[in-house]
Chains A and B, each alone.
Chain A
Amino acid sequence: MTKTTLRGAFAATTALSLIASTAMAEDYTKYGIKADVPGTCSFEAIDAKDYTGRTLNIITHAIPVIGEPTALHAQQFQELTGATVNVVHVPFGDLFQRIMIPFQTQQAAYDVLFHASLWLGDFSPFFAEVPAAYQETSGMKSVTDTYRGVSLVDGKLLQYPMDGDRHYLKYRSDVFANPDMQAKFKEATGRDLTVPATWEEYNEVAAVFNDFDFDGDGAPNFGTAEVTKRDDLMFSAFISRVAAYAKHPDVKGGFFFDLETMTPLINTPGWVRGLELFVAAQASMPPGGTSFGLGDEIFSFGGGQTLMSYSWDDAFIQAMQADSPIRNKVAAAPLPGAKEVWNRTTGAWDTFETPNQVSYVTWGWSSAVAAASPNQDMAFDYLCFFSNEANTMADLQIGRFGVNPYRAEHFDPAFYQNDLGWDAAVATTYADTLKAVDSAPNQVFDLRVPGVGEFMSSLAAGVARAQSGEATAQEALDGVAAEWTAIVDRIGKDKVKAAYANVVALEDK
């Protein structure tokens, strides 16, 4: 080896060491994260990639929910890799068709797609499977079985998990703990005030505390805030109310349909009972509560107007905002249950000493890469980066982002206590409730089959007829069942059945 060669080798080694040390010293906290978490999709790993000259097209929801983190991480990805990233924001009402039309007309309009996870039944033929390398990342490994499950179709991971949603009960813990309120309730009902364990109890508590200033601020308070507006996700609220009566823990083979025959079950007695109680609860809602959309529900409970509510995380997070009048005066619990559950096998009501509690894993944003995308490598890198541990922990702290817990480490109360400043009791009920939903033995999932929009639109229209008094609960659901039968026939029984089998597999596991 000559002196010149040695000198060259030394110079090259020194240069490489300098570059490496510079890279190691890179401070990524400027991107708003606490610290980079080493891994396949860490800031450092993505920083090492070079996508200069390439373009990534993303379609996502309007800002802020999901749209804002999409744009934020797109900007970061662009800065780190040199790629050009275009983000198209679409209002929710248009998102489905804006994704579906390019799929149907075979245009590779977008590489990355953010969408509602329940649309998987419609979109799955157009999604690329998540490559094995990404399934082995630490971030993906810590996604709970529930949220990994909603991304699977026939065992293939077609959605890239980046959010977790579910319904649970939220209530004013200060009112439930107040001796005067406990006495008032005892006087009215003859029993102790407890967190509702059944939907009958929920309606009873809501009625006692309705139109009454229970927090002493001079304005009347009300019993319950629920999502009741027909085309504003009301179907999810209704399913939450029905599940305990219609999802028997010992009866397998379908909640929405009988998987064997694909006969709709939505007009069976369990569903009818749930709808009757949903309609009855209207008497304990605030003025206008019978046409509350999700936004109204969030501000009604989150603003301290109502005693109880149930839906996604938003209202709870709203209540826990730093400037909220009810910060640390709320608690979470699993959805109420039912002591009588319809058994469709025997055709009779079964009685339970301990209420049958059913967790409803509903909605949730998800993401995917288009099978027709010519940039799948870059697209999966973006999604992996979007949901890396550092980004996710930062996103979870910003309520308007719409990113909610879906990994094992997200269910640790210490995170909410230390990073968000919640009281220990609140953090514990929140994290424990979410964990309980995740691991519940009796779960219900969204109807992720082709045509889910049509099924849910029909269901919401039927429920709305009962709510407005246009039809009885039984008449309304009989009408929905007839429509569902027609939809199944039109789509093809086998197609719907094949997709529904994936949902039933999750419920019957």
Chain B
Amino acid sequence: MYRQKYLFLLPGLLVLVAIILFPLLFTIRVSFSSWDVYNPGLNWIGGENYGRLWEDARYWQALGRLTLLSVTTVLIQYVLGFALALMVWRDLAARRLFRVLFLIPMMTTPVVMSVLWRTIFHESLGPLNPILESLGIGAAPWLSSAGWAFAAVVMVEVWQWTPFMFLLLLAGLLSLPNEPYLAAKIDGAGPVRTFFSVTFPMLGAISVGAILIRLIEASKIMETVYVLTSGGPGTSTETSSYYIYIRGMRDFQIGYSAALSLTYLIIMIVALTVIAKLLVRALVKDAA
């Protein structure tokens, strides 16, 4: 009689296959074809696309740039998000207002915010450089110099996604038991010692989750780069997702971009698995 339970699972499994497995399998099949603007269809060219991407220096450079961008932005987001969460965790006037204010950037549409930031960074017409000049700091070539453009992308990402870290870490803080803090107080631990010996270790698991979720999202960064810099100057802010977009949607090399996407997916799965294990070992106290 328990066999009937599979019948009840069947609709869900079919939906799963339809929306997850089929596109994935189709992408794998497309990656072995030369489908492009002048040669539509699923012909078979073996591993030609994979051989080609191995020699595609621009793709690997974009992947290296993405790694740097993801690690930098997520680290800054974690530190800032943790600080903000600690700030509104307990004794702060109007903390409800601050909690809502901190969440606003995350609730805005990335493309819209990128357009606004592009206007802010605009070196001729934007407000940022005049403000910096009036403060005596001096104007910066935000979008026309490689280093500054990279910094601009980091700033927008940090501004947009720090609230996500804040939200998760605040939820973690609010769920912490009170007893360890009472014990620490009895032992005479100050705020810094309490943070490093009690708060931080107890938030280890949630920190790993938050960092991993943000790393996954950060590794797909596309809208910000597309709107803010278009990958430039030169190729200084071109990330993997943007490069795959150019090859797939702009150049219409569907087969090749499928191979790029799958390779990227595999690299991400391996890298994030390794990172997850390392983070768990470093941050989660009871990790076996």
Contact = CB atoms under 8 A, between A and B. Distances in A.
Given A286-B124, A287-B123, A288-B123, A457 B231 contact: no
B123 A450 contact: no
A290 interface: yes
Interface residues of A, number: 39
A96 interface: yes
A291 B252 contact: no
Interface stretch (A75-83, A150-158, A460-468): A460-468
B235 A300 contact: no
A457 B123 CA distance: 25
A229 interface: yes
Interface stretch (B140-148, B173-181, B197-205): B140-148
B37 A230 contact: no
B249 A288 contact: no
Contacts of B235: 461, 464-465, 470
Interface in B188-240: 229-236
Given A286-B124, A287-B129, A453 B37 contact: yes
A405 interface: no
Contact of A291 (B37, B58, B143, B251): B143
Contacts, number: 104
B40 interface: yes
Interface in B80-101: none
B65 interface: no
B40 A288 contact: no
A232 B37 contact: no
B253 interface: yes
Given A100-B37, A288-B122, A468 B233 contact: yes
A474 B287 CA distance: 56
A71 to B, nearest CB: 23
A104 interface: yes
Interface of A: 93-94, 96-97, 100, 104-105, 122, 229-232, 286-291, 293, 296, 299-300, 305, 450-451, 453-454, 457, 461, 464-465, 467-470, 490-492, 495
Interface of B: 34, 36-41, 58, 122-126, 129, 139, 141-144, 146, 149, 229-236, 246, 249-253
Give the 8 A-B CB pairs with smallest separation, nearest first.
A288-B123, A468-B234, A287-B123, A104-B40, A468-B233, A454-B251, A290-B144, A450-B38
Given A288-B126, A299-B125, A300-B124, 18 more contacts: A97-B249, A100-B37, A104-B40, A105-B40, A122-B252, A230-B232, A286-B123, A288-B122, A288-B123, A289-B123, A291-B233, A296-B124, A305-B124, A453-B252, A457-B250, A464-B233, A470-B236, A490-B34
12 contacts: A96-B250, A122-B252, A230-B232, A286-B124, A288-B126, A291-B233, A454-B252, A464-B234, A465-B234, A467-B234, A491-B39, A495-B38
